[in-house]
Amino acid sequence: MLIGIPDIIGSDLLKALADTGHGDLIVIADHFYPPVTKAPQAVSIQAKGVGAAQMLDAVLQLVPLDVEYEAKPISYIIPDADSGIVMEDSPVWQDVRKVVKDHGYDPACIGTLERMKFYEKAGKAYVVICTSETQPYGCIILQKGVK
């Protein structure tokens, strides 16, 4: 038994996170994200029954953000500019900002990526954590740092 590991971090996810190194990308995906086609080389972990911000909170208990080398080591997905979808904010994005701040990071380290740019970057991820997040545009990418 390990002490201090959040309950929603299963053994497969714990191993995947332990296998990441400085600069590796971790995707926290919403219910609609297709990990096999968008990040086929990544380790895909199912974390059903968990929301994106809840998983972000758990991951940030174990993994530092790359604030020393990356201006925006965490980004959330937003609609493409030419999609016709206008979203000023979302509950997921609000929760992401709160979780990041609660973990002692400046919310200025959070960026946004349009959907297609997000998919392109997410394709380089080491691990994709598939949550049950049903809010639209509820995907997040983290870049792992060092402490």
**Known catalytic residue at 31:** no
What is the rounded CA–CA span in Å between residue 54 and residue 58? 6
Question: How, if at all, do strands 25-29 and 43-46 pair?
Answer: unpaired
Residue 74 pairs in a beta bridge with: 110, 142
Of residues 22, 69, 80, 102, which has the active-site annotation?
Answer: 22
Select from 147, 141, 126 the least CA-distant residue to 68: 147
Of residues 12, 31, 103, 119, which has the active-site annotation?
Answer: 119
**Known catalytic residue at 103:** no
**Known catalytic residue at 119:** yes
Of residues 30, 57, 66, 95, which has the active-site annotation?
Answer: 66
Q: Which residues belong to the active site?
A: 22, 66, 119
